[in-house]
């Protein structure tokens, strides 16, 4: 009988030691959770976003003064937004694309404004030159020349 009690106490002591070690290890070791499928897909989409951002920056640099080419980039961003609109994991890419669309539209507007201003300046110069020629042909002294 004493033998059975000794064995039972030994087993209980061993289980207690295993339990204490498990609790101690659980408190001291940080266990990283295994990423699920959604997290893995989100990481893959983020990596794609980083690659796309680098590629788009190079393309934008080359086409920065060509509004026709920038419009093509806007269309590609809009296409990707349409593809990822319902995907919650793609929200980072959608936000990036919407920001890029706004930036490119602003650049196209700036180019158009600069071209408009250049055209108006050229028209004003042409009008001034035509007025100077007309005044010279009429024999009037040129107001821009000093005696």
Residue 118 lies in a domain: yes
Please give the share of the chain, as a percent, with pLDDT higher than 70.
Answer: 92
Q: Does position 7 have pLDDT exceeding 60, yes or no?
A: yes
Spatial separation of the C-alpha atoms in residues 30 and 39, rounded to whole Å: 19
In a domain, 17, yes or no: no
pLDDT tens per residue across span 19-28: 988 888 877 7
Domain assignment present for residue 116? The answer is yes
Q: What average pLDDT does this structure show over 39-54?
A: 85
> Residue 92 has which token pair?
């980072």
Q: pLDDT tens digits, residue range 48-87? A: 888 988 988 888 888 888 889 889 989 988 998 898 888 7
Say what the pLDDT of residue 144 is: 54
Proportion of the chain above pLDDT 90, given as a percent: 32
Classified as helix, coil or strand, 31 is: coil
Q: Is residue 145 part of a domain?
A: no
- Asked if residue 36 lies in contact with residue 89, where contact means CB atoms within 8 angstroms, the answer is no
The helix/strand count (H/E) of the chain reads as: 4, 0
Q: Is residue 125's pLDDT more than 90?
A: yes
Question: Is residue 15, in this structure, part of any structural domain at all?
Answer: no
| Residue span of the structural domain in which 65 resides | 38-128
Q: Is residue 45 part of a domain?
A: yes
77 in a structural domain: yes
For CA atoms 60, 66, 67, 69, the dihedral sign is negative
Q: How many domains are contained in the chain?
A: 1
pLDDT of residue 143: 52
- Asked, for residue 81, whether it belongs to a domain, the answer is yes
């Amino acid at each position: 009988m004493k033998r059975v009690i000794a064995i039972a106490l030994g087993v209980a002591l061993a289980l207690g030691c295993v339990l204490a070690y498990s609790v101690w290890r659980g408190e001291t070791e940080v266990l990283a959770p295994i990423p699920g499928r959604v997290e893995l897909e989100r990481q893959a989409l983020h990596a794609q976003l980083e690659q796309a951002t680098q590629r788009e920056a190079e393309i934008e640099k080359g086409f920065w003064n060509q509004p026709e080419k920038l419009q093509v980039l806007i269309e590609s961003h809009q296409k990707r937004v349409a593809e990822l609109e319902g995907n919650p994991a793609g929200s980072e890419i959608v936000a990036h694309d919407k920001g890029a669309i706004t930036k490119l539209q602003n650049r196209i507007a700036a180019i158009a404004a600069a071209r408009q201003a250049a055209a108006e300046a050229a028209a004003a110069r042409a009008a001034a030159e035509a007025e100077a020629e007309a005044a010279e042909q009429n024999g009037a002294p040129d107001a821009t020349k000093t005696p």
